[in-house]
A and B are shown apart, each in its own frame.
Chain A
Amino acid sequence: MAEKVLMKGNEALAEAALRAGSRFYSGYPITPQTEILEYLSTRMAEVGGFFVQAESELCGINMVFGAAAAGARAFTTSSGPGYSLKQEGISYLAANDLPAVIIDVMRIGSGLGDIFMGQGDYWQLTRGGGHGDYRTIVLAPNSVQENVETVQLAFDLAEKYLHPVIIASDAGIGQMMEPVELPDFKDHDINKFDWAVRGCKEDEPMRACQNIYYAKHSTDYPEYLTKKYNDIEENEQRWESYQVEDAEVVLVAYGSSSRVAKDTVDTAREQGFKLGLIRPITLWPFPKKAFAEAKAAKAFCTVEVNILGQMVDDVKLATEGKFPVGFAGNFFAIPDPDEIIATAKALLK
């Protein structure tokens, strides 16, 4: 039976991962994701899983790589600076067709940046971020309840495509308390995939977990890879539309800022200004299909917590450069509705 409890976003993520059948976690402290590590440091043992506080994010992701190769539902968590360190392992996971879930509870800024709420990692999350030809599926929940549902989905998609999946949470959702319905526990069969290493009998062929380029394909590798990414782009775009059909300006926002953006749509409409909202739930693949619904739109405007408007280019691509695309952004907090409305109105001039 599903239970309803009051939980912090980060802890709900952690609990939901266990309920999705994960029994392997390796992480490192960094604000604002540390509650996940702390929660699992005792909770993982209660469900009979493996927990380790690793010596670095590099170690954390490489342990996940080993566990994923052995067939486990494995995950790790971090925030901006630590996520950068995980890029090596994420590139290897992608290259080896290994399913795993990596959670980035975003903060703000490059380098050290700062520990407060931000959406500083859009570029590195959606462009691959590590070396080589790869991208990862990126899911962006915007509530504690959605955190919980997203973890299950993330593991399912990781296994469907044999690919790393990223959850782009943020300090806002991570730290907030909300009532949440926790799903029932699901079992994961570690022997579900024949490719997972486990030891082979003398007369059996060995399993080799390596670059798929070596392992399965050689000359047809580019074709294989292109198809994989095309399939994901075609099948996995996810979004929520709110008052989009008749909107003159459509806001585009995800995560914490989408909550304010949604309120802003209501406020603007009370004032007679027709705003709408597209909320990408997958940051990659970017939900290009959502933009077909914006039939009355004259302009689009992203709402983000960063300085350079990291999502603007994706909106321009999705709208084929036919419309002005504005950026209601703020480094220090989610822009307030008045600021967003003013920026959106200015686009119509």
Chain B
Amino acid sequence: MAEVRLPKRIMNSGGWCQGCGHGVVVRLIAEVLDELGVADKAIAVEDVACGSMSMSGVLNCDAIMAAHGRPIPVANGAKGARPDSIVYAHLGDGSAYSIGSAELVHTALRGDNMTVIVVNNTVYGMTGGQMAPTTLPAEKTASSPKGKDADRYGVLNVVDLIGKLNATYIARGEIYDVASTAKTKAMIKKAFQNQIDNKGFSLVEVLAPCPTNLHMTPVQCKEFVHTEATKFFPLGEFVDK
């Protein structure tokens, strides 16, 4: 058996559902903080939703739990108070692109020096899988049981929303397999390196499965994200200054 080596800052596995993408993302963040040598001065800002389970014995990193939709301004406040710290917001698509969209837009417009990691699983996870701005056309959710009416609600791609503002870096990755996860990790690393270099606002969106709310097995959900979600949310680096 191969030895299982946990990244230094990971204390334990989290309370996420089987096949959830959040745990992988938190692990990648932990590895990056350690490799960049900034874990000692890192402050995580979590949305009250599923991602914040990282604060419950998973990631050993000072952390703030922000109100739903507000991790970006809260992270901004922490960074303003402690400019030498490395601050990141870790939140879901509903938080970043719906209730917190004004804060996202203006933080990107100001180009504030911080790192944002958005986990996009196309639904509101914590509240039981309701439709989000990122829900795909015809995707069935708890609040769109017949499938999302995309003519009425549209599908929001963050690059369209903030791509022409003053962000330094906007990228989207997936965690489908070893290769794509490694690419996503490199994106996250760049997003933190930019903050270390005082280069401004960096956002990485990670496409991730939420098998529980998409009513799929972990494997089915992973395939769905890889084949369906990527049609609306292409992978790559869209802004890289």
Contact surface of A with B, Cβ cutoff 8 Å: 23-24, 26, 50, 52, 54-56, 58-59, 62-72, 74, 88-89, 92, 190, 197-202, 205-211
Assess whether B60 is in contact with A55, with CB atoms less than 8 Å apart: no
Segment at the interface with A among B62-70, B142-150, B153-161? B62-70
Assess the B8–A202 pair: CB atoms within 8 A.
yes
If A70-B81, A199-B40 are given as contacts, then 12 extra A-B residue pairs at C-beta distance below 8 Å, sorted by A number, are A58-B102, A59-B102, A66-B73, A66-B75, A67-B78, A70-B82, A71-B82, A88-B67, A89-B70, A198-B82, A202-B39, A210-B65
- Interfacial chain A residues near B62, Cβ < 8 Å: 197-200, 206-208
Partner among A54, A69, A198, A199 whose Cβ is within 8 Å of the Cβ of B74 = A69
What residue in chain A is nearest B105 (Cβ atoms)?
A55
Residues of B within 8 A of A (CB): 8-9, 39-43, 45, 55, 59-67, 70, 73-83, 85-86, 102-103, 105-106, 110
When distances are taken between beta carbons in the complex, the residues of chain A under 8 Å from B8 are 202
Nearest A residue to B11, CB-CB: A206
Is the pair B80, A197 in contact by a Cβ cutoff of 8 Å?
no
User: For the complex, what is the distance from the CA of A136 to the CA of B73, rounded to whole Å?
Assistant: 22
Please give, as numbers and ranges, the residues of chain A lying within 8 Å of B76 by CB-CB distance.
Answer: 52, 63, 66
A197 nearest CB neighbor, chain B only: B62
Give the residue of A24, A64, A71, A92 whose beta carbon is less than 8 angstroms from that of B67: A92
A70 touches B43 (CB 8 A): yes
Sample (20) of A-B pairs whose CB atoms are under 8 Å apart:
A23-B81, A24-B77, A24-B81, A54-B73, A62-B77, A65-B64, A65-B73, A66-B66, A70-B77, A70-B78, A70-B82, A70-B85, A71-B82, A74-B81, A190-B81, A197-B63, A202-B9, A202-B39, A202-B40, A206-B63
Residues of A within 8 A of B75 (CB): 66
Q: B77, A66: Cβ atoms under 8 Å?
A: yes
Complex CA distance for A26 and B42, rounded to whole angstroms: 22
Distance between B101 CB and nearest chain A CB, rounded to angstroms: 11
A206 / chain B contacts, CB cutoff of 8 Å: 55, 59-63
How far is B60's CA from A202's CA once the two chains are assembled, in angstroms?
A: 7
A199 touches B67 (CB 8 A): no
CA–CA, A199 and B43, complex, Å: 6
A67: chain B residues within 8 A (beta carbon): 77-78, 80-81
The answer to whether A62 and B103 touch across the interface, beta carbons within 8 angstroms, is yes
* A63 and B80 contacting across the interface, CB-CB below 8 Å: yes
Known contacts A200-B62, A206-B61; is-contact A66 B40 (Cβ 8 Å): no
A200 touches B77 (CB 8 A): no
| Closest CB in chain A relative to B8 CB, distance in Å | 6
**A209 x B80 contact (CB < 8 A):** no
Do residues A198 and B73 form an inter-chain contact, with CB atoms below 8 A? no
Q: Give the shortest distance, in Å, between A101 (CB) and chain B (any CB).
A: 14
Closest residue on chain B to residue A88 by CB atoms: B67
